[in-house]
């Protein structure tokens, strides 16, 4: 019996035959969300609990078969799908989806890694607590994937990235050992912080099987406004005013270019974008969460918008009158990636720059791209409150998107990432590196940083069986 056949038998014994998928349509596990790559796995394995994950990892390590941890497979950088070799095991955490415990006094929730983000939010809300991590993929992405990528989302301006929300992890190491780090302590200075090493490691250092996450009290009121602004400079000015007027109440601040908004109304014509017909180049969606009352929240919000209009950084604004209206305004913003996907294959840049320098960055980069690739459509939007832009590029109208990517992606990326370097920014703010940005990482990270990263990888995964070729190249 060959090694792979023997391994498959062992895996069937560990998780049950029904949870070792080798046949049929496995695209949901083998193709990435952006449809950039389709791989072929040896099997998709779906364990039910942590000991099963450990046994699967041990069996794969003994057979020298590599593992690709997978949550909701919503990642943007081709990190959770297998390569084309047919020799990798996709380890799907989707069956591990229980909220294990909620501790109100400690303000923590303990969850299985395969819990869908929205399910965690809903469970916590029912118990009277806020779990603030939020993003458009929350109906499918898992907390394990959020931790694996150190995901950001739309509430980072107030609550931080996934990293800031995590108090502890349970991890299966590349050798199949279980590390229980679920203490839930807010203070623990006992040596290297392994939790922070695992967070953002994109499945290359181990499999996260459980996590203990921070909770917050539910706000008394949450109000959303949608504002038209005359420029990106004005959007940055509005952000400054929002920090001043709302302080910790500012829980969301997203910017959207007019072209990005026009893609939403083109592909989802039922959505209504306020002010879309105007001549403003950008709109902003902002959120104010208040611990006191809705009246207090509205007063502060209206005062902020009044001052912003007096100063000329807001042309027009609406404040949602109901939760339904607020959801509709957020839905516009959250639909942009879906509208872009409908428009066709595109080039994504998930970059961060100091907030104050974003207008200058965009002006210079827009000009260079437009002169090098006339007609290329710039889809610019994102988490301005965090200095994180999704500075994306869609093929010229009517052009073959596949050909545009094949012929021009490298050149477009060079222009954008060289400019990011000039501005001392990051080529991956929140999506991670995966395999799509691996070469770029190697070009843009210092040799000292790369050496330390490779040393950590070699020390923890000497056999290189944990998501090899992601983040760092196979050595």
- Based on the shown chain and the rule CB under 6 A, indicate whether residue 352 belongs to the binding site for ligand FAD: no
Residue 407 neighbours by CB under 8 Å, 6+ apart: none
- 144 versus 382: smaller Cβ distance to ligand 2HG: 382
- Based on the shown chain and the rule CB under 6 A, indicate whether residue 390 belongs to the binding site for ligand 2HG: yes
Question: Minimum CB separation from ligand FAD for residue 152, in Å?
Answer: 4
Give CA–CA dist 389/380, Å, rounded.
7
In the set 133, 135, 376, 393, which binds ligand FAD (CB under 6 A)?
135
> Which listed option, ligand FAD, ligand 2HG, none, makes contact with residue 348 (CB within 5 to 8 Å by class)?
ligand 2HG
- Based on the shown chain and the rule CB under 6 A, indicate whether residue 151 belongs to the binding site for ligand FAD: yes
Question: Minimum CB separation from ligand FAD for residue 154, in Å?
Answer: 6
Span 356-415, contacts to ligand FAD by CB under 6 A? none
Q: Which of 225, 388, 241, 256 is nearest to 304 (CA)?
A: 241
Span 317-336, contacts to ligand 2HG by CB under 6 A? 336
- Based on the shown chain and the rule CB under 6 A, indicate whether residue 94 belongs to the binding site for ligand FAD: no
In the set 392, 428, 465, 467, which binds ligand 2HG (CB under 6 A)?
392
| The token pair that represents 295 in the structure block | 């009246």
In the set 39, 82, 132, 152, which binds ligand FAD (CB under 6 A)?
152
- Hey, is 185 helix, strand or coil? coil
Residues β-bridged to residue 224: 287
- Based on the shown chain and the rule CB under 6 A, indicate whether residue 210 belongs to the binding site for ligand FAD: no
- Return the CA Rg of the chain: 23
- Hey, is 141 helix, strand or coil? coil
Query: Which stretch of DSSP H or E encloses residue 157?
Result: helix 156-159
Q: Which of 193, 332, 364 is nearest to 267 (CA)?
A: 332
> Which listed option, ligand 2HG, ligand FAD, none, makes contact with residue 71 (CB within 5 to 8 Å by class)?
ligand FAD
- Based on the shown chain and the rule CB under 6 A, indicate whether residue 470 belongs to the binding site for ligand FAD: yes
Nearest-5° Cα angle at 228, 225 to 233: 110
Integer angstrom CA distances of residue 97 from 19, 23, 77: 15, 24, 24
In the set 404, 467, 468, 472, which binds ligand FAD (CB under 6 A)?
467
Give CA–CA dist 32/436, Å, rounded.
11
In the set 348, 437, 457, 470, which binds ligand 2HG (CB under 6 A)?
348
- Count of residues engaged in binding ligand 2HG, rule: CB under 6 A: 7
- Based on the shown chain and the rule CB under 6 A, indicate whether residue 252 belongs to the binding site for ligand FAD: no
- Based on the shown chain and the rule CB under 6 A, indicate whether residue 29 belongs to the binding site for ligand FAD: no
Write the Ramachandran bin of 241: left for phi over 0, alpha for psi from -120 to 50, otherwise beta: alpha
- Based on the shown chain and the rule CB under 6 A, indicate whether residue 337 belongs to the binding site for ligand 2HG: yes
CA dihedral 80, 81, 82, 83 (to 10 degrees): -110
The 10 Å Cβ neighbour count of residue 111 is: 27
> Which listed option, ligand FAD, ligand 2HG, none, makes contact with residue 392 (CB within 5 to 8 Å by class)?
ligand 2HG
- Based on the shown chain and the rule CB under 6 A, indicate whether residue 136 belongs to the binding site for ligand 2HG: yes
- 41 versus 74: smaller Cβ distance to ligand 2HG: 74
Question: Minimum CB separation from ligand 2HG for residue 136, in Å?
Answer: 5
In the set 431, 437, 438, 457, which binds ligand FAD (CB under 6 A)?
431
Task: Tell whether the torsion through CA atoms of 52, 54, 60 and 65 is positive or negative.
Answer: positive
In the set 30, 59, 63, 72, which binds ligand FAD (CB under 6 A)?
72
In the set 8, 59, 102, 113, which binds ligand FAD (CB under 6 A)?
113
> Which listed option, ligand FAD, ligand 2HG, none, makes contact with residue 257 (CB within 5 to 8 Å by class)?
none
What ranges in 176-293 are assigned the alpha helix state H? 194-198, 232-246, 258-267
- 377 versus 390: smaller Cβ distance to ligand 2HG: 390
Residue 37 neighbours by CB under 8 Å, 6+ apart: 31, 78, 81, 435
Question: Minimum CB separation from ligand 2HG for residue 171, in Å?
Answer: 25
Q: CB burial class (10 A; 0-12, 13-18, 19+) of residue 246?
A: buried
Integer angstrom CA distances of residue 396 from 124, 344, 377: 45, 11, 6
Integer angstrom CA distances of residue 185 from 124, 190, 288, 380: 19, 12, 29, 40
**Residues near ligand 2HG (CB under 6 A):** 136, 336-337, 348, 382, 390, 392
**Residues near ligand FAD (CB under 6 A):** 33, 68-76, 79-80, 93, 113, 135-137, 141-142, 144-146, 148-149, 151-153, 202-203, 207-208, 337-338, 430-431, 434, 467, 470
């Amino acid at each position: 019996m060959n090694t792979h056949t023997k391994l498959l038998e062992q895996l069937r014994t560990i998780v049950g035959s029904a949870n070792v998928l080798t046949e049929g349509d496995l695209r949901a596990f083998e193709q990435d969300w952006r449809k950039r790559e389709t791989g072929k796995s040896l099997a998709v394995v779906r364990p039910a609990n942590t000991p099963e994950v450990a046994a699967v990892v041990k069996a794969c390590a003994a057979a020298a078969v590599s593992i690709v941890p997978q949550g909701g497979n919503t990642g943007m950088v081709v990190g959770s799908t297998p390569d084309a070799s047919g020799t990798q095991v996709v380890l799907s955490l989707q069956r591990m989806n229980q909220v294990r415990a909620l501790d109100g006094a400690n303000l923590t929730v303990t969850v299985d890694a395969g819990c869908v983000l929205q399910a965690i939010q809903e469970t916590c809300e029912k118990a009277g607590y806020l779990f603030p991590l939020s993003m458009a993929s929350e109906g499918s992405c898992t907390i394990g994937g959020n931790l694996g990528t150190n995901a950001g989302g739309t509430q980072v301006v107030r609550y931080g990235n996934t990293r800031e929300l995590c108090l502890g992890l349970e991890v299966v190491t590349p050798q199949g050992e279980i590390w229980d780090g679920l203490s839930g302590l807010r203070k623990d200075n006992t040596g290297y912080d392994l939790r922070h090493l695992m967070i953002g490691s994109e499945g290359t250092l181990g499999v996260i099987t459980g996590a203990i996450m921070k909770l917050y009290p539910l706000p008394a009121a949450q109000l959303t406004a949608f504002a038209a602004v005359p420029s990106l400079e004005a959007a940055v000015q509005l952000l400054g005013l929002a920090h001043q007027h709302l302080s910790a109440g500012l829980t969301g601040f997203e910017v959207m270019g007019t072209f990005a908004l026009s893609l939403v109304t083109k592909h989802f014509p039922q959505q209504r974008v306020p002010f879309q017909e105007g001549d403003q180049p950008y709109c902003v969606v902002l959120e104010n969460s208040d611990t006191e009352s809705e009246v207090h929240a509205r007063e502060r919000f209206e005062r902020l918008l009044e001052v912003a209009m007096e100063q000329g950084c807001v042309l027009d604004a609406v404040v949602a009158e109901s939760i339904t209206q607020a959801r509709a305004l957020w839905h516009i913003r959250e639909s942009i990636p879906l509208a872009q996907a409908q428009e066709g294959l595109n080039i994504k840049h998930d970059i961060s720059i100091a907030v104050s320098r974003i207008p200058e960055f965009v002006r210079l980069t827009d000009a260079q791209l437009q002169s090098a690739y006339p007609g290329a459509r710039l889809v610019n939007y994102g988490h301005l409150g965090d200095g994180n832009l999704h500075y994306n590029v869609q093929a010229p109208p009517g052009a073959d998107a596949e050909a545009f990517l094949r012929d021009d992606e490298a050149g477009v990326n060079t222009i954008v990432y060289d400019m990011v370097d000039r501005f001392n920014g990051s080529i991956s703010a929140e999506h991670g590196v995966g395999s799509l940005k691996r070469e770029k990482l190697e070009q843009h990270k210092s040799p000292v940083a790369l050496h330390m990263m490779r040393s950590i990888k070699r020390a923890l995964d000497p056999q290189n069986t944990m998501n090899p070729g992601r983040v760092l190249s196979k050595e």
